[in-house]
Amino acid sequence: MNDTAAARPAGTPSVPPPRRPGQVRGTHPHAAAFAASADHTVPAERRLPERYSVRDQVLNALRSALVSGELRPGAVYSAPSLAERYGVSATPVREAMQLLAREGAVEAMPNRGFRVAERSARDLAELAEVRALIEVPVVLGLARTIAPERWEALRPLAAATVAAAARGDRAAYADSDRVFHRAMLELSGNHQLVAVADELHRRSQWPVSGPSRAPSRPAELLADATEHAVLLEALVAGDVVTVESLVREHFSGSAWG
C-alpha cells in the first residue's frame, strides 16, 4: 500500500487524479501521446482534406449533371453506378448525395440509391417570387449607395455569364450566373442574406419535370446573360429607375436569372 492510500481514512471513496487540460474523461493521461505516435507517416489531419476534396469534386460534378439534365428528374441513381461514372469510390458519392438530399435536390431511396427530385414550373415561379422579394429591394438600395467603380469591378463576372451562354454551356452558365448575383449582394455586407439568396438561386437552377421555362438554346441563354451587362450599365450610371425595371423583369422573365 502506498502512502496516499495509507493516509486516507477507511470508507473514503477513491478519487482519481485530476484530468489534464484537454484530456477526455475516462482516458489515460498519456493516451493522446500514444495515439499520436501510432501513425508516424500520414497524420489524420493531413488525410482529411484529401477525402473532403474528393467529395466536393463529386458534389460539384453532380450539381453540374443536375443543371444540365444529365441526371433526369424522377430517375433513381445508385452510389456505386455514379462512383463508376466518376472514377471514385462509392463513399464520397454517398456523402455528396446526402448533402444534395438535405438541399432537396434528391431523395434517398433505401436499398436503391437516390431519386432526383421532380419539380414543376409552379415550383420555379415560387422560387423566383421569393428571390425577387429578397434581391430586388437590396439591389435598389445598393444602386443608391454603391460607388460606380465598385460596380465596374463586376464586369468580368457579367462577361463570364455571356461567354458561357454563347457556348451553350448550361452548367457553366448556371455557375457564373450565381457568382454574379452573389457578388452583387455581397456589396450589402449582409452575409446571412447572401447565404439565403445563394441557396434559393441554386434551387432555382435544378431541372423540372415536363415542359420547362428554362432556356435550352444558346440564344436564349445569351439573352438572359445580356441582361447582366445592361443592368451593370444602369448601376454604374446610378439610374435607379432603369435598375428597378431591369431587375424586376429579370426575375419575372427568366427562370435562370
Q: For the segment 40-70, what is each residue's pLDDT rounded down to a tens digit?
A: 343 344 343 455 689 999 999 999 899 888 8
Structural domain ending residue among the three candidates 73, 96, 116: 116
- 72: domain CATH number is 1.10.10.10
> Which residue type occupies 231?
L
Whether residue 155 is found in the same domain as residue 130: yes
Confidence of residue 22 (pLDDT cuts 50, 70, 90): very low
Q: Is residue 2 part of a domain?
A: no
Answer yes or no: is pLDDT of 155 > 70. Answer: yes
Which cell is 223 given? 439573352
Whether residue 150 is found in the same domain as residue 213: yes
Helices 170-186 and 218-237: crossing angle, nearest 10°? 20
Structural domain ending residue among the three candidates 87, 116, 145: 116
- Segment (H or E) for 102: helix 90-103
Among 130, 123, 133, CA closest to 205: 123
Whether residue 88 is found in the same domain as residue 146: no
Answer yes or no: is pLDDT of 234 > 50. Answer: yes
Tell the residue number behind the cell numbers 441557396, with chain if given: 199
Read off the DSSP letter of residue 62: H
Mean pLDDT of 236-246: 94
**Predicted local confidence at residue 253, as pLDDT:** 58
**Predicted local confidence at residue 113, as pLDDT:** 93
Whether residue 145 is found in the same domain as residue 235: yes
> pLDDT higher for 130 or 25?
130
Q: Is residue 126 part of a domain?
A: yes
- Expressed as residue numbers, the domain containing 185 is 121-253
Q: Provide the percentage of residues in the chain whose pLDDT is more than 90.
A: 53
**Which three-class secondary structure state does DSSP give residue 175?**
helix
Q: Is residue 24 part of a domain?
A: no
DSSP annotation string for 202-243:
HHHTS--SSS--S--SHHHHHHHHHHHHHHHHHHHHT-HHHH
Whether residue 126 is found in the same domain as residue 249: yes
Instruction: Name the pTM for this structure.
Output: 0.71
pLDDT in tens, 84-137: 999 999 999 999 999 999 988 999 999 899 999 988 888 888 999 999 999 999
Mean pLDDT of 71-96: 93
Which cell is 83 given? 462512383
Whether residue 138 is found in the same domain as residue 90: no
Structural domain ending residue among the three candidates 95, 116, 137: 116
Q: Is residue 8 part of a domain?
A: no
Answer yes or no: is pLDDT of 19 > 60. Answer: no
- Gap between the Cα atoms of 29 and 32, Å rounded: 7
Whether residue 111 is found in the same domain as residue 164: no
